[in-house]
Amino acid sequence: MMIIYKNPDDSIVMTFPARQFVDVYGEFSVATRITPKGLPFWLVEDSTIPQDMTFSEAWEVPASFGDPDGYGSASSSFADISEKEGHAGMSRRSFTPQINQIKAVVIAQKWIRSWREHWFAENDIDLQNAMADGADITPFVNRRNWLRNLPQQCEGKTIEELNDLLTDLRIGRIWDLEDDYENS
């Protein structure tokens, strides 16, 4: 089981409660206690979480979820919360997140800005060396301009196009993990 709750800014938090708490106190009671006071939560089947987490920071609760299963409580103990009638053994939802396009673009731009810092530094060294050698600096100026303009390439793109751009640049969670593995 996974608990999804919605923050006031419409972003979501996914949490996986410890099985021993769920077994003792019940899904609803645990969800009510884990979710911050007053925020809506939904109980979701954890096996339905999308494998592609690239834009998980832009995920939102889809309108198709309907009413929440409950709301966070101010209770300080599990004993203060009783299992909501009808929630014991309830079926959980499948989770297909809605991706906020604007947030996805901002996330992709943030990743590109972070990624390109290394390339800016490397290009500056190459540019300085070319100038010192009296070589043509045009390729280095063009590369700098290309790096500078990369974040704007995200604007107006679909989620799939953003994924393709990040993949082409080898930016993102998968590439970060591969780079960590290669450098270990």
Q: Tens digits of per-residue pLDDT, 24-37?
A: 888 888 888 889 99
CA–CA separation, 49 vs 19, rounded Å? 18
Q: Are residues 57 and 44 in the same domain?
A: yes
Per the DSSP assignment, residues forming a β-bridge with 70 are 41
Q: Are residues 127 and 81 in the same domain?
A: no
The type of residue at 50 is P
CA–CA separation, 37 vs 180, rounded Å? 38
Per the CB < 8 A criterion, the answer to whether 64 and 24 are in contact is no
Q: Which domain holds residue 143?
A: 101-182
User: Tokens 């809506």 belong to which residue?
Assistant: 40
Percent of the chain with pLDDT over 70: 84
CA–CA separation, 95 vs 131, rounded Å? 55
Tally of structural domains, the chain: 2
Q: What is the pLDDT of residues 113-160, one digit of tens each?
A: 999 999 999 999 999 999 999 999 999 999 999 999 999 999 999 999
Q: Are residues 89 and 133 in the same domain?
A: no
pTM for this structure?
0.74
For residue 173, the model assigns a pLDDT of 56
Q: Is the pLDDT of residue 91 over 90?
A: no
Per the CB < 8 A criterion, the answer to whether 112 and 151 are in contact is yes
Kind plus residue range of the DSSP H or E element containing 168? helix 159-169
CA–CA separation, 10 vs 60, rounded Å? 6
Q: Are residues 128 and 77 in the same domain?
A: no
